[in-house]
Amino acid sequence: MKSFVYFSLIHSLLGASSVLAAVPLSSVKRVSNAPTIPNKFIVEVDTSAQIPNKRAYARTIDAVYDSIKARDVDFDVNKEYDLSGLFTGASLTINSDPSPEFEQSAPDAVALDDIPGLKAIYPITLFKRPDPVSKHVVSSPQDPAIIPAKFSTHVMTGVDKVHARGFFGKGIKIGILDTGIDYTHPLLGGAIGPGNKIIGGYDFVGDNYTGQNEPTPDNDPLDQCQGHGTHVAGIIAADPNNPYNITGVAYEASITAYRIFGCEGSVGDDIIVDALLKGVKDGQDILTLSLGGADGWTSSVSAVVASRIAKSGKIVTIAAGNDGTSGSWYTSSPGNAIDAISVASVENTVIPVQQSIVSGVEHAPIPYFSFAPLNIDGEFPIYVLTQDTTIPNDACTPLPASTPDLSNFVVIVRRGTCTFVQKIENIKAKGAKRALVYDNGNGATGISIPDFPVSLISAEDGLFLVEQFFSGAKVSLSFPKNGEIANVANPRGGLMSTFSTYGPSNDFQFKPAVGAPGGNILSLLPVPLGSFAVESGTSMATPFLAGAAALMLEVKGKNADTARAARTFFQTTAVVVRTTVDENSLPQTVTQQGAGLINVYDALFAKTTVSPGALVLNDTANYKPFQTFTVKNTDKKSKAYKLSHVPAGTALTVQANSIFTSLGPVPLVENAASVVLAPSKFTLFPGQSITVAALFTPPKGVDSSRYPVYSGFIKVEGPGENYHVTYVGLSASLKQKQVVDNTDTFFGEKIPTVLNAAGDSQVNPTNYTFAGKDYPSFLYRLAFGSPLVRLDLVEPDIKVATTLNSRGLGDGHWFTFPFPIKGSSSFAKVKTVGPLAEVGFHTRHNENPDDNGYSVIAFDSPKFANGSTINNGAYRFLFRALKVTGDRSRQEDYETWLSPIVGVFA
């Protein structure tokens, strides 16, 4: 399958803003905002293809190069890939316009169509290293953030019990694709090379690489400028017996550092693929990638290659993503790789917080919910606004005129009713420069107000301060910058991290696969950056699973069968994560937790195997209600088993009366599927297995317009043993889901639209000279992912009815065009002048304007997608987006929009 892409998925892992406010159209930069590397592609060749004159070539790829040259396409080969059975191809930079008269020339991927031996063309997408959701550098061994003796994350997952049996990952090779590693860190052995913990590595990029420039590779994967890879490496491999008691999950494993990020910026698919293939060539048993970006599809080249490597019998662990606040249908790539293990993040049971020192009265330091110390120098008396410690709306309205100047106090405010921002505005109006907000029972949260130090404290500490203040005590607080950290119980310990990305993918792959501890994780930093830090992210959960996988290979034997079964072992022995700490609360949707929090001990030593680990019932149009799984008794004694159903919350993935997806935390309802199991009770002799049939009925009483994703577990109980098979399905048809945003919600004006020279929506026929700023730009948003988005130039008098509201054209019906729609001249009875752009597997947009909020295609020169010039004349833009599961050859599976007349008069 070939996909021609001129611009594509935008990747980001920044938290989305939770407010969907109109963004002014004037803020839209009329510059194409492609997240791909312009004019660069990865081509994959089919080495078994029948090609003309094959014997004249030593390699198929040479024949492909010659065919491309024969089409007058000028290109450079950046890098070749050749790993038989996995990937053969090259990264090319194409220059179809060697003497460009225009600033930007379009890449000529169209010219590569139908070249014999060419299997696929992939755009080169940029991936971010997921920034840690929070980060705190630990200051000293006395720092109370350190968890005594045993690592809480190891206790949560049974790693401590595996260690107690003497397994530490010895003999297992793990390749870490990240920012490099500071191997000079004493807990990572202090050196690199054979015989050390870090046995080797390679730097594919160099310090200066940003993803947008040329890499400068060398043999040294040392990272002392970024730190992410060192934190990841510490989670897997930190030596124990240190003052911090940090212990790697598999600290006897052998680590190789593949450095694919520079000190700043992103990485392209071309480098990721190169590093993945080198990892395989170097004989790694496990490859782990704490990186990715929102995608929704499984087709990026790094996802495709990672999946093939996993299928070939290596374990590949990849971060699920930190986009939980953006809601469902926003999965990350390459975590989407079908056969890789995508890892979600579960909160650590403890949380390190800062403390404020109390003076004037005897009182222990007051913990405040911040990883970094508040930027407050000196000691300040407190000022309390009201004696009423049950006030629901403290500081929600302007403070009374009698309020003194607050500039020399720490103002104590009660949480509740209005936003933190509003409270701070009101106290700032009276001069306040710092504050603490005491909780009203809602629980721990970070508070971040620009240029105003403020943090949350507990209700108890708040009551104490209020009482002291009104009794006349002279209480002051100070906020030390060093060493005053407390390790408090995490009120969300053991629950899903709110930032952890929701699945499923748009093609309904079961993503994420499982969860591991990733929220509030103590590990290493490069020595020059402070040596130790607490960080949060699926970046932290992913190496935890890689370490657990190393223990599994050590215990069960290092072979391709174990590697291929690893995901199922982890899934079927995982522990259900609930929505609240109440153990009877609704289980969290499996679209966020996958099969649950890993139980490493059971995954390694269970005496029953259950397979597969996950059942995909798909949507109503592709519904697979009948499923089977097997249960095998691998014990030496006969065992009786009992099956039962544990439904999880049904996720309402789309907002009510809206085309937009629900923001995270995605709302859940209790309406659950039901299932009939046959048999539901049985006894198995040693070595015996049984196939269980499961017939599902979707939940009743759910509104399909909310795209409810239901899920849950089939529990398999043996004597003292617990397993489960996890299922997921959708009570709606994805083909019904509106893809294109045709509302005015985002910009306050209807889109899609053509922006004119002034940056306004073009309403009337408009001529463009393409001189200076006088060119049209196409602006659109997708409310949902689309497998194919295309923009064509058409004649102005075209007779088509459109599905989306269009200025001056009104609503309409579908028009027809046949497959193939590639090429140029026509589809069905509708003639096109030529294609302007096409995107395969387009991610949906996000509600944050600065983070994948919308797409712009700026036509600053009058050119077709293939780079050839558009003749002067009058035209329209025809925009089409294929619905999910839509058939490219079926007219009714597209949404369409037609622009006002665009005159090209260059």
Ligand X SMILES: *[C@@H]1O[C@H](CO)[C@@H](O)[C@H](O)[C@H]1NC(C)=O
Q: Give the active site residues.
A: 178, 228, 539
903 makes contact with ligand X (CB under 6 A): yes
Binding range to ligand X, per CB under 6 A, among 39-47, 144-152, 486-494, 637-645: 144-152
Q: For residue 88, list its beta bridge partners.
A: 82
| 679 prior amide bond cis, ω within 30 | yes
Q: Closest by alpha carbon to 243, among 531, 519, 547?
A: 531
Are residues 564 and 311 in contact, defined by beta-carbon separation less than 8 angstroms? yes
Sign of CA dihedral 792, 798, 803, 809: positive
Which one, 592 or 608, has the nearer CB to ligand X? Answer: 592
Q: CA-CA distance, 423 to 436, in Å (whole number)?
A: 11
Q: Which two tokens stand for residue 770?
A: 């393409």
Q: CA-CA distance, 564 to 543, in Å (whole number)?
A: 18
Q: Count how many residues are written for the chain.
A: 906
625 makes contact with ligand X (CB under 6 A): no
Coil vs helix vs strand at 222: strand
Q: For residue 201, list its beta bridge partners.
A: 257
Strands 689-697 and 674-678: antiparallel
509 makes contact with ligand X (CB under 6 A): yes
Are residues 115 and 127 in contact, defined by beta-carbon separation less than 8 angstroms? no
Which one, 94 or 616, has the nearer CB to ligand X? Answer: 616
Going by the DSSP 8-state scheme, the letter that residue 796 receives in this structure is T
**Which residues does 149 contact at the CB level (< 8 Å), separation at least 6?**
245
297 makes contact with ligand X (CB under 6 A): no
* Shortest spacing between CB 735 and ligand X, in angstroms: 9
Torsion angle (degrees, nearest 10) of CA 278, 279, 282, 283? -140
* Shortest spacing between CB 833 and ligand X, in angstroms: 6
Residue 216 neighbours by CB distance under 10 Å: 13
Residue from 655, 868, 869, 891 in contact with ligand X (CB under 6 A) = 868
Residue from 90, 616, 709, 730 in contact with ligand X (CB under 6 A) = 616
Which one, 509 or 756, has the nearer CB to ligand X? Answer: 509
Helix (H) or strand (E) holding 156: helix 152-157
Question: Which 555-594 residues touch ligand X, going by CB under 6 A?
Answer: none
98 makes contact with ligand X (CB under 6 A): no
In the chain, what is the greatest distance between 2 CA atoms, to the nearest angstrom?
Answer: 96
Binding residues with ligand X: total (CB under 6 A): 27
Are residues 572 and 611 in contact, defined by beta-carbon separation less than 8 angstroms? yes
Residue from 356, 520, 618, 653 in contact with ligand X (CB under 6 A) = 618
122 makes contact with ligand X (CB under 6 A): no
Residue from 50, 149, 214, 451 in contact with ligand X (CB under 6 A) = 149
Binding range to ligand X, per CB under 6 A, among 153-161, 163-171, 809-817, 864-872: 864-872
Which one, 455 or 726, has the nearer CB to ligand X? Answer: 726
140 makes contact with ligand X (CB under 6 A): no
Residue from 589, 866, 896, 899 in contact with ligand X (CB under 6 A) = 866
325 makes contact with ligand X (CB under 6 A): no
* Shortest spacing between CB 210 and ligand X, in angstroms: 10
Are residues 677 and 690 in contact, defined by beta-carbon separation less than 8 angstroms? no
Coil vs helix vs strand at 779: strand
Which one, 556 or 822, has the nearer CB to ligand X? Answer: 822
| 667 prior amide bond cis, ω within 30 | no
Q: Which two tokens stand for residue 453?
A: 């130090």
Q: CA-CA distance, 723 to 740, in Å (whole number)?
A: 42
Residue from 206, 360, 381, 667 in contact with ligand X (CB under 6 A) = 206
209 makes contact with ligand X (CB under 6 A): no
759 makes contact with ligand X (CB under 6 A): no
Q: Which residue is closest to ligand X by CB? A: 834
Which one, 386 or 766, has the nearer CB to ligand X? Answer: 766
* Shortest spacing between CB 888 and ligand X, in angstroms: 13
Cβ burial of 25 (10 Å; 0-12, 13-18, 19+) is middle
What's CA 124's distance to the chain center, in Å? Answer: 18
Question: Which 829-848 residues touch ligand X, going by CB under 6 A?
Answer: 834
685 makes contact with ligand X (CB under 6 A): no
In the chain, the amino acid numbered 851 is: D
* Shortest spacing between CB 885 and ligand X, in angstroms: 4
824 makes contact with ligand X (CB under 6 A): yes
Q: CA–CA distance from 139 to each of 142, 353, 480, 529, 694 (Å)?
A: 8, 13, 12, 11, 54
* Shortest spacing between CB 49 and ligand X, in angstroms: 23
Q: Which two tokens stand for residue 571?
A: 């899934």
Which one, 454 or 755, has the nearer CB to ligand X? Answer: 755
Q: CA–CA distance from 385 to each of 339, 388, 392 (Å)?
A: 57, 9, 13
731 makes contact with ligand X (CB under 6 A): no
Q: Which two tokens stand for residue 676?
A: 């009939």
* Shortest spacing between CB 414 and ligand X, in angstroms: 35
Binding range to ligand X, per CB under 6 A, among 228-236, 409-417, 513-521, 614-622: 614-622
* Shortest spacing between CB 474 and ligand X, in angstroms: 35
Residue from 10, 51, 146, 427 in contact with ligand X (CB under 6 A) = 146
Q: Closest by alpha carbon to 348, among 516, 169, 509?
A: 516
Place of tokens 């790094």: 302
* Shortest spacing between CB 546 and ligand X, in angstroms: 24
* Shortest spacing between CB 900 and ligand X, in angstroms: 10
Residue from 24, 392, 765, 820 in contact with ligand X (CB under 6 A) = 765
508 makes contact with ligand X (CB under 6 A): yes
Binding range to ligand X, per CB under 6 A, among 241-249, 391-399, 405-413, 524-532: 241-249
* Shortest spacing between CB 240 and ligand X, in angstroms: 9
226 makes contact with ligand X (CB under 6 A): no
Q: For residue 255, list its beta bridge partners.
A: 174, 198
Q: For binding to ligand X (CB under 6 A), which residues are involved?
A: 141, 146, 148-149, 206, 208, 216, 243-245, 507-509, 616, 618, 622, 765-767, 824, 834, 864, 866, 868, 885, 903, 905
